[in-house]
Amino acid sequence: MGVLFVTAEAYPFMKVGGLGDVAYSLPKSLKQIDVDIRVIMPKYKFPKKIKRKMKRVAHYTTYIGWKTVDCNLFTLKLDEVQYYFIDNPFYFYRTEAYGYHDDYERFIFFSKAVLEAIKYMDDFKLDIVHCNDWHSSLVIPLKDIYYRGNTIYDNIRTVFTVHNILYQGVYGKDLLWMLGLDEKEYFTEDKLRYEEGISFMKWAILSADRVTTVSKTYSEEIRQQHLGYGLSSILENKKHLLTGIQNGIDYDQFNPKEDKSIYFNYYCDNLDDKYKNKLKLQEDLGLVVDINIPVIGMVTRLVDQKGIGLLEGIINKLMNKNIQLVITGTGESHYEEDFRYFENKYDNFRAVLKFDEGFSRKVYAGSDIFLMPSKFEPCGLGQLIAMRYGTVPVVRATGGLKDTVEDYNKYTDDGDGFVFKEYNTIDFFSAIERSLDVFNNHKDSWNRLCVRIMNKDNSWRLSAAKYKNLYMKIAKLR
Ligand code: ADP
């Protein structure tokens, strides 16, 4: 079984969010169950120590409309997985992965270059191309348009995974020239058309042999109008080919026993060492150092989806409690400004406005409670990482949060965290209050809860097997 996993980001080369984690950890797990999976992504501005390990495999050209564009293909192996990198300095030697005015052109180039790269992959019998999110969407339909009649390409089956349907790659139809496509034929409802513009993701969903998304609940939610962002009816029509497969996390990468970026390693047999992380985090951030004050953490993109607005709605009430709140993240500037203001206003509030993998682990390890009040959440990895570090999640029951966090039941003493249903400040606040009550007044139950969530299996073990089954099923379609 040969699979090419196409992605715009993969840890440790480039990570913006959950997709970066998945693109590293899922292929690694599939490799361990005998899937010959390789990953292909853009070659961004990497540090020298990574560049030194890369080998150039090929040099070729591709086209953006009438423009000839140069491309180098590089490769290296990491954790037994072969990675390929599409290299064009003009498009990709930038600090961020996305967010530029010419993203559409960059990822049209990427998709076309990926399709050409297939010709240069040695010892690889390619059965499946697995594309992820809008950046690699076009690989799927363009394969059939440009390579039909070529047996290697005709034999490839396609999987498309929706990691977040909000980001679809929606642009004006005047871009069709870049794809070399005729407006009459392709600006239609069954292809690219999305209202008066075009949606890259829509076309991938329509063309892929199978569509997956990252949790069971999200696979149901995106078929509803309010969460489908214009694609709900297409997904409803294709529901027999749509599966929700829960994301996992890499249990080696996120392991409090061995994580070098936290202050003290620990495991569930010794929670005292977890609390040492808390005390050191409090000290480092200039907070009152006190084991009895609950530290509430958040590691998140600062965007509307993550429920930052909801948090702002309760901030005054929350900060007046005997708690400390530590948020790390980057995102929309108005949220960053608000957080700077709150930091001045409250002694017990810290906002560390940066994207820093090492620091994020200190927050996961050093917090008692972890907040994810998302408006919607395809899967969410933050709550899984938090649980792995024994930090109790408070989440809204949506998407993957609903599937992975069971509400705590004080009578039966089971559950994984504190769950609220409706997106409103009252329910959010009362879920936090419930968590504080157990933390402050029922220490034994709290410690049992921490141990229980650390022992949960949220690794890729089950889900990687599901992807393998799916690949085998569609490879058999031939
Ligand atoms: P999303 O992909 O929507 O951002 P997920 O919860 O699926 O949300 O994944 C987010 C990933 O990005 C997690 O690994 C989280 O730890 C990481 N992350 C988010 N913000 C930061 C930050 N400021 N610094 C370091 N890592 C971060």
Residues counted in the chain: 478
* Ligand 1 centroid, distance to 328 Cα (angstroms): 10
* Ligand 1 centroid, distance to 435 Cα (angstroms): 23
Domain boundaries, position 130? 2-248+461-475
Inside any domain, residue 261:
no
Residue 230 Cβ inside 6 Å of ligand 1? The answer reads no
Please report, for the domain that includes residue 384, its CATH number: 3.40.50.2000
SS3 349: strand
Residue 142 Cβ inside 6 Å of ligand 1? The answer reads no
The overall pTM is greater than 0.85:
yes
- Measured distance CA(423)–CA(222) in Å, rounded: 17
User: Which of 24, 355, 384, 458 has most ligand 1 atoms within 8 Å of its beta carbon, as the pocket-test mutant?
Assistant: 355
* Domain total in the chain: 2
Which amino acid, 68? T
How far CA 354 is from CA of 350, 358, 368, 396, 463, in Å, comes to: 12, 11, 21, 25, 31
Residue 385 Cβ inside 6 Å of ligand 1? The answer reads yes
Inside any domain, residue 201:
yes
Query: In the prediction, which pLDDT does 477 show?
Result: 60
Mean pLDDT of 373-401: 98
- Sorting pLDDT into bands at 50, 70 and 90, what band is 185? very high
What is the number of the ligand 1 atom nearest to the C-alpha of 249? 14
Average pLDDT, the chain: 97
How far CA 219 is from CA of 131, 235, 241, 457, in Å, comes to: 17, 9, 11, 22
The two structure tokens encoding residue 238 = 């294709």
What is the number of the ligand 1 atom nearest to the C-alpha of 163? 2
- Asked whether residue 171 falls in the same domain as residue 277, the answer is no
* Ligand 1 centroid, distance to 66 Cα (angstroms): 39
- Asked whether residue 217 falls in the same domain as residue 98, the answer is yes
- Asked whether residue 465 falls in the same domain as residue 360, the answer is no
- Please indicate whether residue 323 or residue 1 has the higher confidence score (pLDDT): 323
- Measured distance CA(259)–CA(112) in Å, rounded: 39
Inside any domain, residue 466:
yes
Inside any domain, residue 77:
yes
How far CA 102 is from CA of 244, 395, 465, in Å, comes to: 32, 36, 37
- Asked whether residue 297 falls in the same domain as residue 362, the answer is yes
Instruction: Report pLDDT digits (tens) over 34-53.
Output: 999 999 999 999 999 999 99
Query: What percent of the chain is predicted at pLDDT more than 70?
Result: 99
- Asked whether residue 298 falls in the same domain as residue 154, the answer is no
Contacts of 66 (CB under 8 A, 6+ apart): none
- Asked whether residue 59 falls in the same domain as residue 78, the answer is yes
CB 309 within 8 A of CB 300: no
The two structure tokens encoding residue 438 = 């157990």
Residue 184 assigned to a binding site: no
- Asked whether residue 146 falls in the same domain as residue 290, the answer is no
| Atom 20 in ligand 1: residue holding the nearest Cα | 300
User: Which of 9, 327, 360 has most ligand 1 atoms within 8 Å of its beta carbon, as the pocket-test mutant?
Assistant: 360
Q: Is the pLDDT of residue 389 over 90?
A: yes
Instruction: Report pLDDT digits (tens) over 188-215.
Output: 999 999 999 999 999 999 999 999 999 9
CB 54 within 8 A of CB 61: no
- Asked whether residue 43 falls in the same domain as residue 81, the answer is yes
Residue 231 Cβ inside 6 Å of ligand 1? The answer reads no
Instruction: Report pLDDT digits (tens) over 101-115.
Output: 999 999 999 999 999
Instruction: Report pLDDT digits (tens) over 422-463.
Output: 999 999 999 999 999 999 999 999 999 999 999 999 999 999
- Measured distance CA(378)–CA(161) in Å, rounded: 11
| Atom 24 in ligand 1: residue holding the nearest Cα | 355
Inside any domain, residue 263:
no
- Count other Cβ atoms within 10 Å, centred on residue 412: 7
Inside any domain, residue 258:
no
Strands 295-299 and 324-328 come out as: parallel
Inside any domain, residue 266:
no
Inside any domain, residue 256:
no
Fill in the DSSP letter of residue 137.
T
SS3 412: coil
- Asked whether residue 310 falls in the same domain as residue 219, the answer is no
* Ligand 1 centroid, distance to 125 Cα (angstroms): 34
- Asked whether residue 13 falls in the same domain as residue 72, the answer is yes
Nearest to 400 by CA among 385, 410, 389: 385
Contacts of 283 (CB under 8 A, 6+ apart): 289
What are the backbone dihedrals phi and psi of residue 405, each rounded to the nearest 5 degrees, phi first?
Answer: -120, 115
Query: In the prediction, which pLDDT does 478 show?
Result: 59
- Asked whether residue 286 falls in the same domain as residue 230, the answer is no
Q: Is the pLDDT of residue 476 over 90?
A: no
- Sorting pLDDT into bands at 50, 70 and 90, what band is 95? confident
Mean pLDDT of 379-384: 98
Instruction: Report pLDDT digits (tens) over 123-176.
Output: 999 999 999 999 999 999 999 999 999 999 999 999 999 999 999 999 999 999
Nearest to 6 by CA among 33, 31, 41: 41
Residue 18 Cβ inside 6 Å of ligand 1? The answer reads yes
| Atom 16 in ligand 1: residue holding the nearest Cα | 382
DSSP strands (E only) in 335-381: 349-352, 369-372
- Sorting pLDDT into bands at 50, 70 and 90, what band is 122? confident
- Asked whether residue 19 falls in the same domain as residue 157, the answer is yes
Residue 199 Cβ inside 6 Å of ligand 1? The answer reads no
